[in-house]
């Protein structure tokens, strides 16, 4: 029987997981760990950006270090100045916890951070802040080593006799650290030579804060990637400067975002030529006088505190494309008692985390029984044959995300006694999910015309 649970991460998904276990009850110890001094996870914006990029960046075992400031340690993240969600806020709401009615349909990052902070206020007593997880090992139980983030430990990155590590045993470990920490910058022909000849001209979307930073770049700017951050960087730059910006994309974007005639789309990259400051593409295309290249190419799956497991015959991480050995993209069937929260791209992470937290709590309480090891392993092999060992392995695009959550909900309903159920999909939420790209485009167009952001009530006529 599982009695003690460690939850790593104090963002929205970690909070939803902790709440799910507390509401299920029957656990003697539920402890959350957060390396920052407050809740919010990735939504904790800071103007400092991580400039210590490895170029290329392809090692999933690399560690992202914090930045020392006068007031403490900062973990730079992928949140930029003008970031607004690309998800309507009703789809981000936890059960029985609403955004203010005046909230714009696609709220600013600061509104989301405030929402998460308020949601977690009654969970503060279960968390240890300024505490970094250093190591997680499996013995007869899970051995969790944590370290205080302070000057004596260099922000939690070195042992200190004066501030010793804490070592504890837990029956289960839930990992809710997100997937936006370690930048992925692929190896391209000519990239290393370019970086050597033109230092500080290779960026990653994680380092982007504002188009003002790019306005003074001499030469053309090329963005590589066509997902949320790539689209947003191009749109913001074009709108702010009135200049052309180039975007290399392998396929059409799957996420909503702004558009501009100043964003010139280019095909996939062939190679970089630092001698002529040119980038060559498929279809024999070429872009000359390139002054800055921004990789909006996503992030590597990175779990540095599982170093021992990752050196074993059953690693969680190999090349950083996916997490191995998971049932329903969540429960580790190779390492029982271990689970990962909301790791799939394109999902509604708050909603998914809330459902997964309750689902996992019932698994650990023996109220939900899983298929056999052989059956689960067979399912993973089948999915691998369909998708390959690629970053898309865990993706859940609409309507796959709704079907996925329905599967978990079915298990929860069958196991429910007096426990509370996760939030059910409403007709409005399904309509919002179905029409998100349209709504985002309409809201951006409205803002360009009027300077005002639309509310949910004002946008209902479009769905």
Q: What domains does the chain contain, in order, with CATH numbers?
A: 4-181+300-415 (3.50.50.60), 185-296 (3.50.50.60), 437-462 (no CATH)
Instruction: Determine the pLDDT at residue 416.
Output: 75
Mean pLDDT is lowest, of 232-236, 252-256, 278-282, for 252-256
Half-sphere exposure of 368 (CA within 13 A, CB side): 22
Statement: residue 415 has pLDDT above 80: yes
State the average pLDDT over residues 409-414: 94
Mean pLDDT is lowest, of 77-81, 190-194, 288-292, 423-427, for 423-427
Query: Phi-psi bin for 313: left (phi > 0), alpha (psi -120 to 50), beta?
Result: alpha
Statement: residue 50 has pLDDT above 90: no
Minimal CA–CA distance to 365: which of 20, 64, 107, 8? 20
Residue in the structure block whose two tokens are 């006694």: 417
Statement: residue 420 has pLDDT above 80: no
Three-state secondary structure readout of 206-251 = HHCCCHHHCCCCCCEEEEECCCHHHHHHHHHHHHHHCCCEEEECCC
Angle at alpha carbon of residue 453, lines to 223 and 342, rounded to 5°: 60
Confidence of residue 251 (pLDDT cuts 50, 70, 90): confident
| Gyration radius from the chain CA atoms | 22
3-state secondary structure (DSSP) of residue 355: helix
* Residues linked to residue 125 through DSSP beta bridges, in sequence order: none
Confidence of residue 423 (pLDDT cuts 50, 70, 90): confident
**Do residues 305 and 136 lie in contact, with contact meaning Cβ atoms separated by under 8 Å?**
yes
Residue in the structure block whose two tokens are 């899983």: 370
Confidence of residue 374 (pLDDT cuts 50, 70, 90): very high
Q: Report the C-alpha gap between 123 and 16 in whole angstroms.
A: 10
* Residues linked to residue 290 through DSSP beta bridges, in sequence order: 220
Mean pLDDT is lowest, of 100-114, 288-302, 328-342, 419-433, for 419-433
Statement: residue 419 has pLDDT above 80: no
Minimal CA–CA distance to 201: which of 189, 228, 180, 219? 219
Statement: residue 250 has pLDDT above 90: no
Confidence of residue 337 (pLDDT cuts 50, 70, 90): very high
Q: Report the C-alpha gap between 316 and 302 in whole angstroms.
A: 9
Q: Report the C-alpha gap between 382 and 377 in whole angstroms.
A: 9
Statement: residue 421 has pLDDT above 90: no
Q: CA–CA distance from 308 to each of 132, 243, 313, 324, 389 (Å)? A: 17, 49, 10, 15, 22
* Residues linked to residue 203 through DSSP beta bridges, in sequence order: 294
Instruction: Determine the pLDDT at residue 140.
Output: 94
| DSSP codes joined into one string, 405-452 | HHHHHHHHHHH-SSSPPPPPPPHHHHHHHHTHHHHHHHHHHHHHHHS-
Statement: residue 418 has pLDDT above 70: no
Q: Tell me the residue ranges of DSSP E strands in 78-226.
A: 127-128, 131-138, 142-148, 166-170, 172-175, 182-183, 202-204, 220-224
Instruction: Determine the pLDDT at residue 289.
Output: 98
Quote the pTM value. 0.96
| Percent of the chain whose pLDDT exceeds 90 | 90
Instruction: Determine the pLDDT at residue 252.
Output: 82
| DSSP codes joined into one string, 138-150 | ESSSEEEEEEE-S
User: Whole-number mean pLDDT of the chain?
Assistant: 95
């Amino acid at each position: 029987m599982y009695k003690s649970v460690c939850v790593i991460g104090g963002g929205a998904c970690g909070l939803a997981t902790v709440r799910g276990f507390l509401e299920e009850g029957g656990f003697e110890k539920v402890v959350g760990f957060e390396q920052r001094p407050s809740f919010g996870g990735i939504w904790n914006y800071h103007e400092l950006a991580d400039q210590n990029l490895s170029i290329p960046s392809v090692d999933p075992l690399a560690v992202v270090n914090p930045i020392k400031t006068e007031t403490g340690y900062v973990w730079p993240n992928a949140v930029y100045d003008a970031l607004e969600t690309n998800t309507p806020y009703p789809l981000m709401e936890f059960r029985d916890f609403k955004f203010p009615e005046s909230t714009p349909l696609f709220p600013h990052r600061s509104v989301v951070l405030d929402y998460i902070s308020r949601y977690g206020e009654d969970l503060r007593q279960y968390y240890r802040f300024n505490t970094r997880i250093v190591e997680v090992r499996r013995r007869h139980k899970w051995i969790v080593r944590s370290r205080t983030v302070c000057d004596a430990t260099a922000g939690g990155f070195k042992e200190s006799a004066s501030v010793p590590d804490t070592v504890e045993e837990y029956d289960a470990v839930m990992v809710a650290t997100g997937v936006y920490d370690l930048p992925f910058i692929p190896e391209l022909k000519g990239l290393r030579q370019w970086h050597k000849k033109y230092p500080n001209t290779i960026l990653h979307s994680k380092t982007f804060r504002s188009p003002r930073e790019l306005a003074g770049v001499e030469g053309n700017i090329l963005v590589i990637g066509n997902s949320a951050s790539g689209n947003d960087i191009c749109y913001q730059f074009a709108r702010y400067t009135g200049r052309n910006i180039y975007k290399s994309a392998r396929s059409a974007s799957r996420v909503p975002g702004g558009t501009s005639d100043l964003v010139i789309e280019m095909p996939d990259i062939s190679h970089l030529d630092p001698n002529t400051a040119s980038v060559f593409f498929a279809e024999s295309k070429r872009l000359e006088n390139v002054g800055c290249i921004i990789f909006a190419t996503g992030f590597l799956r990175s779990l540095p505190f599982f170093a021992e497991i990752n050196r074993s015959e059953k690693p969680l991480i190999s090349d950083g494309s996916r997490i191995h050995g998971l049932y329903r993209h969540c429960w580790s069937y190779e390492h029982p008692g271990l689970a990962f929260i909301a790791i799939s791209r394109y999902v509604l992470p708050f909603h998914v985390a809330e459902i997964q937290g309750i689902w996992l709590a019932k698994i650990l309480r023996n109220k939900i029984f899983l298929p056999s090891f052989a059956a689960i392993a067979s399912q993973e092999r089948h999915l691998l044959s369909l998708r390959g060992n690629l970053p898309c392995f865990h993706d859940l695009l609409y309507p796959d995300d709704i079907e996925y959550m329905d599967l978990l909900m079915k298990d929860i309903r069958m196991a429910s006694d007096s426990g509370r159920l996760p939030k059910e999909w409403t007709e409005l939420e399904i309509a919002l999910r179905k029409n998100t790209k349209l709504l985002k485009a309409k809201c951006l167009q409205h803002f360009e015309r009027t300077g005002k952001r639309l509310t949910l009530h004002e946008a209902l006529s479009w769905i």
